[in-house]
Structure 1
Amino acid sequence: MTDIHEGAGRRTLPGSQMTGLLIWGLVALIGVVALAVAWQFVEPAPPTQVRLATGAPGGAYERVGSRYRSWFAEKGMGLEPVVTAGSMENWDLVLAGEVDAALVQGGTAPPEAGVQLEAVASIAFEPLFLFYRRDRTGAAGGDGAVDRLEALAGMRIAIGAEGSGTRSLVKTLVAEIGLDERLADTGTELLSLGGAAAVEALRAGTIDAAAFVMAPEAPLVRQLLASEGVGLVDLSQARSFARRLPYLSFVTLYEGVADPGLNLPPDDLRMVAPATYIVVRRDTHRSVVQLLIEAAQRDQTIHLVGTGTEFPSLDYTDIPVGEDARYFFERGPNWLHRHLPFWAASLLDRVAILIIPLLTVIIPLFRIAPAALQWSVRRRIFRWYRQIRVIDEEIVQRRVPRARLEGDLALLERLDQDVSATEVPLSYMEEFYNLRLHIAYMRQRVKDALAEAE
């Protein structure tokens, strides 16, 4: 009893307005915290510039980089092709983080590549071309034709610059036939020379043979095929090499496919071909992976070896294909990227995760807040009614001292003043005026009880 009478002397705060501010402020605070937590899971924005390690000037890798640069430019992202010596240097660059992606040759992956990198897609077969000078070989029949790798023993052979995939492949094949242990005995020299320099040296006769791993449509290939006195090895061991080395495929370079007008080559030739594929670092932004996949799928280059329909492919890679690359390869761009500019789709893609707190936290809070405000107002009204009920019970007992009744009357007057000074939403005015009527009714009952006590 004492706590009720003492509590009645405290003035009630201007209820609904203050409570409403508190409730809506709490809703805003929780919403901001939820969005801040969700923002931690939003991936960074796509880079504006991507570096792609390609290959030597004039090679197929360089042309791939140029075509991909055009596609990236259409999507508003820059692509910088980085000229290199070849696959081995490309592996070093991408492992060191100096480039974001690289074109590499199958069978050249270093041991640590599978840990730090992932494949995106293979894009073409690049046959091994073994050109030689016909006047430097004593082939059976006297026509200078060569169909085995051993026939090049004793020659000065350009096998590509240091860091090139061609050099790595030729050394592997030389080891397969055991020639690596007999180089000095046979007088064979493997020279670190590749690209246009090797072509000029072969045509000038300063070297006897040259190896190239490149696409048949490369200008250097057509140039050598058309050169007088230069032949191309018809590798009879191609099938066995492809069977023993899984990253190699047996392919046929058909008559006239490189240049139908000049009928180059003049005959069908057996060859081995590693696949060229794209690798990226595991932390490369998924948007870069997506654009690389799209560029590979939209590349209209005709493949002159193989069936012509193998590429792009998720096969023919030395290291596993990444999950993002597999997703984009199999499903293509999502609805946003098909219908919106790339920058807008990427932005919406990134912030889509913010919908989770919006749907699970903020919207439910906005639905709960009005109910909480309603409960707060009703709670105050019910508290006043509790005080009135105590006074009513005292009157019913009919043995309340006069002093207590006088205190009840004073309490009711203060309640009436507090209720009158309280701001209540219009939706609660009916309950508000009912409360005031009940207070007036109880005041009259207390006055009647005082009169009976006299």
Structure 2
Amino acid sequence: MTGAVRRRAFLGGLLLLPLAACGASPRPVLRLATGENGGFYSEFGRLLGAASGGRERGIDPVATGGSRENVELVARGAAAVGLAMTDVVRDARAGTPPFERPLDLLALGRVYENYLQLAVRADSPVTGLADLAGRPVSLGSSGSGAALAGARLFAVAEVGVQARQLSLAEATAALADGRIEAMMWSGGLPTPAVDALAKRVPIRLLPLADHIGTLRLIVGAGLYTAGVIPSGVYGSTGPVVTIGVPNLLVSSSELTDDDAAAIARLLVERAHELTPVSALGTQYLDQPSLIDTVGVPMHPGAAAAYREMHG
């Protein structure tokens, strides 16, 4: 057996896991790296896993720390597919810090818009980034894309904070009891864990869009856009303009063309089942948007499936 064949066989054993079902014979499933419990990645992954039921290959969502961890899991074959912010995927493919080398990543589709969100307690005197100078701020878990984007945002704003890397659960608890001044995360609208926090402790989102132009100079066009968080989200009394980042479903080149094509068809054919009922904001589960992967190459199997469905 050649080295390449041995490697593919080894990765195949990681990507495909047997899933037993109530007396039925186990069927292989594809592991999907999602995100933290209480986050939008987790919600989307759960719906995608449910929609795959009854198909030849199921999808098994697995909780993770977020985008950065997900691309690393996919690249080393510990997950077949993963959800990740596009800026993280592009950094990982290029091997730019914090990634030590280029990672093997391909897009299966652009699935929805992530919103970079920065919250303080409603009674906080903080009204903008500059007011957070020297204060304790959670930028997100160490495995998240928010932590990378948050560090980049404060750097371009030239605001130094006492940065913490807390999980979503840790950050909501710390903000509630005043151990941190603000918490940053990235996700869809509303993010379930933060929505639950806002029902207990009034919070307020800070506007972030003033720094989009500088961020684009660093990462390139097409990644960061102005995103409006509607009035009423987390109890807000008016809309807040923040930073939107497209979110991708990715795999490595080791994913077979057949499996990539099956996932692409699932995204198109079952789109109505893949958006949480509470979700607001931009969703990309239509074919023209799914194939707009912002410069990240599409997996050939997924590309073929989209062409076939388009006719």
Deviation at 1:331, TM superposition (A): 2.4
Q: Tell whether 2:69 aligns with 1:89.
A: yes
**Displacement after TM superposition at 1:136 (Å):** 4.1
- Mark the runs of 5 or more structure 1 residues left unpaired by the alignment: 1-43, 138-143, 335-454
Amino acid paired to 1:118: L
SS at match of 1:97: coil
What's the CA shift string for 1:233-258, capped at 9, x where partnerless?
A: 023515535644431121111213x3
The one of 163, 166, 191 aligned to 1:193: 166
TM-score by length of 2: 0.77
Please tell me whether the aligned partners of residues 225 and 232 of structure 1 are also in contact (alpha carbons under 8 angstroms). no
- How big is the shift at 1:114? 6.7
Residue in structure 2 matched with residue 329 of structure 1 by the alignment: 306
Structure 1 residue corresponding to 2:231, chosen from 237, 251, 255:
255
In structure 2, relative to structure 1, the CA distance for the partners of 1:103 and 1:309 (3 Å cut) is closer
Q: Secondary structure at the match of 2:87?
A: coil
Q: 1:157 aligns with which of 129, 137, 144?
A: 137
Deviation track 1:100-135 (CA, whole Å, cap 9, x = no partner) reads 111111211312587622111110111011001344
Contact 2:260/2:301 (8 A) holds in 1 = yes
Partner of 1:237: 210
- Listed as ranges, the matches of 1:71-110 within 5 Å are 71-109=51-89, 110=92
Q: Which has the larger helix fraction? A: 1
State the Cα distance separating 1:189 from its structure 2 match: 0.6
1:270-290 Cα shifts (integer Å, max 9, x gaps):
010111111111121122212
Tell me which amino acid in the other structure corresponds to 1:202.
Answer: L
Alignment of 1:272-311 (within 5 A): 272-297=243-268, 298-300=270-272, 301=275, 304-306=280-282
One-letter amino acid of the structure 2 residue matched with residue 166 of structure 1: A
Pair 1:67-2:54 in alignment: no
1:118 aligned onto 2:106: yes
Provide Cα deviations, 1:419-449, integer angstroms capped at 9, x if missing partner: xxxxxxxxxxxxxxxxxxxxxxxxxxxxxxx
Taking the TM superposition and a 5 Å limit, the aligned residue runs for 1:381-420 are none
CA distance in structure 1 between the partners assigned to 2:121 and 2:300 by the alignment: 47
Residues in 1 aligned to 2:138 and 2:303: alpha-carbon distance in whole angstroms: 38
Distance 1:309 1:116, change over 3 A: closer
Length, aligned pairs only = 270
The whole-number CA distance in structure 2 between the counterparts of 1:219 and 1:196 is 11
Which stretch has the larger CA shift, 228-237 or 51-60? Answer: 228-237
Percent of pairs identical after alignment?
Answer: 22
The structure richer in strand per residue is 2
Between stretches 55-64 and 293-302, larger displacement belongs to 293-302
Match of 1:428 in 2: none
User: Higher Cα Rg: structure 1 or 2?
Assistant: 1
Deviation, 1:190, is 0.5
Calculate the TM-score normalised by the size of structure 1.
Answer: 0.54
Q: Which residue of 1 aligns with 2:7?
A: none
CA RMSD of aligned residues (A): 2.7
Distance 1:126 1:307, change over 3 A: closer
Which ranges of 4 or more aligned residues in structure 1 deviate by more than 6 Å?
307-311
Alignment of 1:296-445 (within 5 A): 296-297=267-268, 298-300=270-272, 301=275, 304-306=280-282, 312-317=289-294, 319-332=296-309
Contact 1:242 1:250 in 2 (8 A): no
SS in 2 for 1:321: coil
> Per the alignment, in what secondary structure is the counterpart of residue 116 of structure 1?
coil
Does the aligned pair in 1 maintain the 2:70–2:83 contact within 8 Å? yes
Q: Which amino acid aligns with 2:260?
A: V
Q: Tell me by how many angstroms 1:229 deviates.
A: 4.6
The DSSP-based 3-state class of the residue aligned with 2:146 is: helix
Paired AA for residue 189 in structure 2: P
Residues 138 and 171 in structure 2, CA contact (< 8 A), matched pair in contact too:
yes
Matched residues in 2 for 1:127 and 1:241: separation?
Answer: 17
Task: State which of 115, 123, 129 in structure 1 corresponds to 2:117.
Answer: 129
Report the CA distance between 1:70 and its aligned residue.
Answer: 1.7
